């Protein structure tokens, strides 16, 4: 990939590496009018991730999860509980292997076929993460465990099977506020998958 010749990184500092890494980056940027401006920004590096929406055409249902998310709690979500599509960090896996592992850990479903639909930056103003988006069909015979996540990672995940109609209604009424989940539900709608 070709580097942007209008950007010159001057200094990178680590502000925190407690959970993931928060950098302060000072750089020069050549503006469109030719002037050079020095700027400083913070960027949070948590690695890249993958997300999947499981769907069942026969039942017209999707599998989602519900878990506590501290940032939503401190930003006004009174319970901190968030309904989401299954997701996780790559942890040195390729995106497809990661999402298969996360699906089994979080939902209890063992899937073998996944379809990658796109990649997206979710918060490019401050977070380096790119997310790999997948969908996959599921059936009851793929349910091999209860799911719920990994206890050693502090996960306490509730698995939800919802009608597609109810999931879309939950976007409209504000019960589903997670961007990656909304994007995948809308993808199923736009592509007439459900």
Which residues are part of a known binding site for Mg(2+)? 87, 102, 106, 155
The Cα–Cα gap between 58 and 75 comes to: 38
Residue 172 DSSP label: H
Structure tokens at 51: 């997300």
For the annotated binding site, the residues are 87, 102, 106, 155
* Nearest CA among 115, 156, 106 for reference residue 135: 115
Alpha-carbon torsion, ordered 174, 180, 184, 186, to 10 deg: 40
Structure tokens at 68: 């506590």
């Amino acid at each position: 990939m070709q580097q942007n010749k209008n950007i010159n990184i001057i200094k990178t500092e680590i502000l925190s590496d407690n959970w993931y890494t928060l950098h302060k980056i000072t750089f020069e940027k050549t503006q469109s009018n030719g002037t050079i401006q020095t700027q400083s920004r913070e960027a949070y590096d948590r690695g890249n991730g993958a997300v999947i929406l499981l769907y069942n055409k026969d039942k017209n249902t999707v599998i989602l999860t519900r878990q506590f998310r501290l940032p939503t709690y401190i930003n006004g979500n009174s319970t901190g509980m968030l309904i989401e599509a299954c997701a996780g960090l790559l942890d040195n896996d390729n995106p497809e292997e990661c999402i298969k592992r996360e699906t089994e850990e979080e939902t209890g479903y063992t899937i073998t076929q996944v379809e990658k639909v796109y990649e997206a930056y979710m918060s490019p103003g401050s977070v380096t993460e790119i997310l790999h988006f997948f969908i996959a069909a599921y059936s009851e015979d793929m349910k091999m465990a209860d799911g719920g996540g990994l206890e050693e990672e502090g996960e306490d995940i509730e698995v939800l099977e919802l009608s597609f109609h109810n999931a879309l209604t939950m976007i409209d009424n504000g019960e589903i506020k997670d961007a990656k989940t909304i994007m995948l539900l809308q993808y199923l709608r736009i592509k007439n998958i459900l």
